Amino acid sequence: RVRVFAVEKNPNAVVTLRGRCRRDEGWAAVTVVPGDMREWEAPVMADVLVSELLGSWGDNELSPECLDGAQRYLKPGGASIPQDYTSFVAPISSARLWNEVKHFKDLAHFETHYVVKVHNAYCMCPSKECFTFSHPTAGRSPAEIAAIDNSRLARLQFDVPLGGELHGFVGYFHSTLYTDGVETVHISIEPRTESVGMFSWFPIYIPLRTPVQVAAGGRVEAVFWRHVSKQKVWYEWALTQPHQSPIHNPNGRSYHIGL
């Protein structure tokens, strides 16, 4: 028979889930567990680990860290849904978005990511892959899981055909939910593979402190970092071509996600 454990850290969501268990006949096999999936001790090993931790930039809501901690109660050969996710990024020209950030009149807001429904913007070229994560990883013991390194670095180059004023970058994600080698199920907000009817996630806007003019046929080069400490995860980014910019958000001084 099927057994389902719904592990939920949000106390308000726990109340909702328990209400569903009382009211809905189809939820009879569900046991609601209030707590952190990284700390819970499962009574049995799982065949399938299903999560919804994807952010607009894929890994920006701690999916890697949470799933690494939870995979210790997944059976060998068990499936994780999602199985992988990749962030994408592209240079964007949008005086509207940049001025919305400038309105705050401080540095911190230029070192922060924003989930936005992009209007009044020109994506200067197609996006490129940035960071990729796959699950489950090889580690199962607490020591192996603790040794997993989820930091990343990507140095990307973009050839810009028409040129214009660069105001930052726009970020997307593409995820493989499940594949059995024959059939594959994806979910995506990346424009070339965007899921039909997708409205649950909007793109990420990653601003530059100072706009930069890019010539027609020019090149944009940027570096993106994902850093991890025991307390937090944060992103840094810098433009290296056509001009060198400062590193944005060093050491997560303006924006981070707490562990």
Catalytic residues: 52, 61
At 59, give phi and psi (nearest 5°). Answer: -95, 10
3-state secondary structure of 7: strand
3-state secondary structure of 106: coil
Count the Cβ atoms, other than its own, within 10 Å of residue 216: 9
Contact status, residue 147 vs residue 139, Cβ threshold 8 Å: yes
Per-residue CA distances from 204 to 1, 90, 163 (Å): 42, 11, 21
Token pair, residue 17, equals 């889930």
Question: What single-letter amino acid sits at 31?
Answer: T
Closest CA to 152 of 91, 65, 231: 65
CB neighbours of 117 closer than 8 A, spacing ≥ 6?
A: 202, 203
Alpha helices in the chain (DSSP H): 11-23, 63-70, 95-102, 142-146
Which secondary structure element, helix H or strand E, spans residue 32, and what is its range?
strand 30-34
Question: What single-letter amino acid sits at 26?
Answer: G
Count the Cβ atoms, other than its own, within 10 Å of residue 162: 13
